Structure 1
Amino acid sequence: MASDYVLPNVPLPIRGPAERRTTIGVAAVERRARPPAFAAIDLGTNNCRMLVGVPSGGGFHVLDSFSRVVRLGEGLYRTGTLSDDAMDRAIGALSACAERLHRWQVSDIRAIATEACRQAENGAAFVARARAATGLPIETISPREEVGLAMESCASLINQAERRALLFDIGGGSTEIAWVRVPGPHGDTDRSLPQLIGYHTIPVGVVTLSERCAGCCESEMGFTAVVEEIKSLLRPFEQIHRIGQEIRQGGVRLIGTSGTVTTIAGIALNLDRYRRGAIDGAVLAREQVAGGLAAIRAMGPSGLAEHPCIGPDRVDFVLPGCAIFAAIEDMWPASELAVADRGLREGMLMRLIRNARAKPRRFQA
């Protein structure tokens, strides 16, 4: 039902870390009074992330969260396989997730792997090993499913567009693009949710690009060359859907969800530190976006490492991500950008909650 989604014009209601209580004693007390809990785990090319939440209004309330850099796709571009060290790091993070889940006794869980496991020759074997080692029902999803989950998490932002939305997610190993029809003013279920017109995925993300051409994005010539290469990968999708023409006609919203996009937004908004509340749902004019992108490119490696919205752990990925972003923005020059600090975990939780609500209730005499 439409009410199961985040209401239009309302950011996804996720509580901040200060509101989360995650000790075992507190959790045991809360379980007796709270609604059923759900868990979502996203094993990406660079990070392993988890959210545990309970339904709350049109969204959910976060009980627990976890994020760890695992670099699962490290060396994948060069070797075509996941390395032993990378797999060990990922299973260690998944084991930590499984241990944390014991305190919550979740009603349902979804655990997914994405591009690194799709690309790797040993991806399927690794997923089987991870399931056996952790007990988690981890599965490798398709690009189409990945796009659907991103749409699910960003439904409230998509619904604010007039006619169409172009949603993109710059990941570690791939970049997904979704061309979406915004629901009209109808009350029926089929027409009250965003509808996917078409999607496109390219096997280029911030990790694979940083390994393939380390440092090439630091020079003007190298950055421009990468942007043009990415645009060549996007052009077939543009030729099919004529999105540029739709943008010129008006009523199209560009929506970005990824660390690259939120970083550009943080710089464009001159934040002294990263604050999710100021980023998620922010709408930036094209000029603001250009200013943020230019500021990042002017910082240099040391400046990027020292900036509180970036930090040393992400230096290698920032400029490759900016090159992918610049290609998207160049191909489809919308007048403004809506920023989403949400992704696959949020989409999975929303879907789990929606599916649970749709199940018929047992009759009790």
Structure 2
Amino acid sequence: MSRDATSARVAAIDCGTNSIRLLVAEADGRGSRELERDLRITRLGQGVDATGEFHPDALVRTFAACDEYAAALARHGVGRVRFVATSAARDAGNREAFDAGVRERLGVTPEVIPGDEEAQLSFAGALGAAPDAEAPTLVMDIGGGSTELVLGQAGRPVKGVSLDMGSVRLRERILASDPPSLDEVAEAGEFIDDLLDASGVDFDSARSWLGVGGTATSLSAIVQGLPAYDRARVHGSVVPREALGELSGRLLALPVAQVLEIPTMVPGRADVICAGALICHRIATRMGVDLTVSESDILDGIVAGLLG
């Protein structure tokens, strides 16, 4: 929910299965101007797929990030805040503790949004930064607990789905070994393919393919061989479909300790990036165009909504 407006500055907080992210922005003549963007790996979805509840340690990590974000909101004089929670929060039975902890720290109650709204917000954020993308456009957001796919044209979503496959969910449920065994990889690939085949998304019709979120941006940084993460070089980068297949195979064959040696790898993503890469690769096999990576995502879609 949103707090009463006290200034033209707004904030969007996206709390997913693996990370929590903040975007603070203010209105300007062209729409909005970014003031601060931040990401913390908190793994809120730790064990949720197996137990159906938030782990106490996951709540502690997430609330610590909320404390930091509360300080940022105060520092920028933010008037309106929208806090959305996605896949893990949709699945957890002890959501009251999560809601209460966020409300105590930020003064807002988390909105646990359905998958279709998550997909539409990601689409709005991605297309806002790529208005010239050839239509129909497929926007892909591979999260920790779910993957959102939205096919749209003329800047409007036409078909959007949220699939219960994400990097954390897939790692915990199937790709449990370090590194995953060949049997696990085969089982995970079949699981992904079954969901994609039943999704109803017309992949063949897409004339452009935009990837948003931490999986897509991380894969781009690795393919480019960046010595350090560079948002400017990731945004708008094109990752060939063949490179996604090669990278997926490479990451699935590496133990986590070696994945951590990749210069741009965030520690909290090292153990699950192989699962995200596999999902991206299986989608790539259905596409007729290469992947364009965007740093504009669900946060930008939320901010656009807050600023009207």
- TM-score, normalised to structure 1's length? 0.75
**Does 1:222 find its partner at 2:184?**
yes
Q: Determine the C-alpha separation between the residues in 2 that align with 1:218 and 1:342.
A: 31
2:11 paired residue number: 39
Q: For each residue in 1:95-147, what CA deviation from the matched residue of structure 2 results, as whole angstroms up to 9, or x when unmatched?
A: 22123211222232111111111111122552244324541242211112211
Alignment of 1:216-365 (within 5 A): 218-238=180-200, 241-244=201-204, 246-247=205-206, 252-297=207-252, 299-330=254-285, 332-353=286-307, 355=308
**Does 1:96 find its partner at 2:68?**
yes
Per-residue deviation, 1:219: 3.4
Maintained 8 Å contact 1:283/1:338: yes
Q: Determine the C-alpha separation between the residues in 2 that align with 1:227 and 1:216.
A: 17
Structure 2: which 5+ residue stretches go unaligned? 1-6
SS in 2 for 1:218: coil
CA RMSD of aligned residues (A): 2.3
Maintained 8 Å contact 1:43/1:49: yes
Per-residue deviation, 1:168: 1.1
SS in 2 for 1:215: coil
Maintained 8 Å contact 1:52/1:62: yes
Q: For each residue in 1:52-103, what CA deviation from the matched residue of structure 2 results, as whole angstroms up to 9, or x when unmatched?
A: 1123453533323333222211111121111222223222221221232112
1:190 paired residue number: none
Per-residue deviation, 1:298: 5.1
Maintained 8 Å contact 1:44/1:115: yes
Amino acid at match of 2:99: V
Q: Determine the C-alpha separation between the residues in 2 that align with 1:274 and 1:85.
A: 28
Per-residue deviation, 1:175: 0.9
Maintained 8 Å contact 2:18/2:41: yes
Percent of paired sites with the same residue: 31
Per-residue deviation, 1:163: 2.5
**Does 1:83 find its partner at 2:60?**
no
Per-residue deviation, 1:171: 0.6
**Given the superposition, is the C-alpha separation of residues 100 and 300 from structure 1 closer, same or farther in structure 2, using an over 3 Å criterion?**
same
Structure 1: which 5+ residue stretches go unaligned? 1-34, 184-193, 356-365
1:179 corresponds, among 125, 138, 151, to 151
Q: Determine the C-alpha separation between the residues in 2 that align with 1:277 and 1:199.
A: 28
**Given the superposition, is the C-alpha separation of residues 160 and 295 from structure 1 closer, same or farther in structure 2, using an over 3 Å criterion?**
farther
Q: Determine the C-alpha separation between the residues in 2 that align with 1:312 and 1:126.
A: 24
Q: Determine the C-alpha separation between the residues in 2 that align with 1:134 and 1:68.
A: 16
Which structure carries more helix by proportion?
Answer: 1
The structure, 1 or 2, with the larger RCO (C-alpha pairs under 8 Å, 6+ apart) is: 2
- TM-score, normalised to structure 2's length? 0.88
Per-residue deviation, 1:315: 1.8
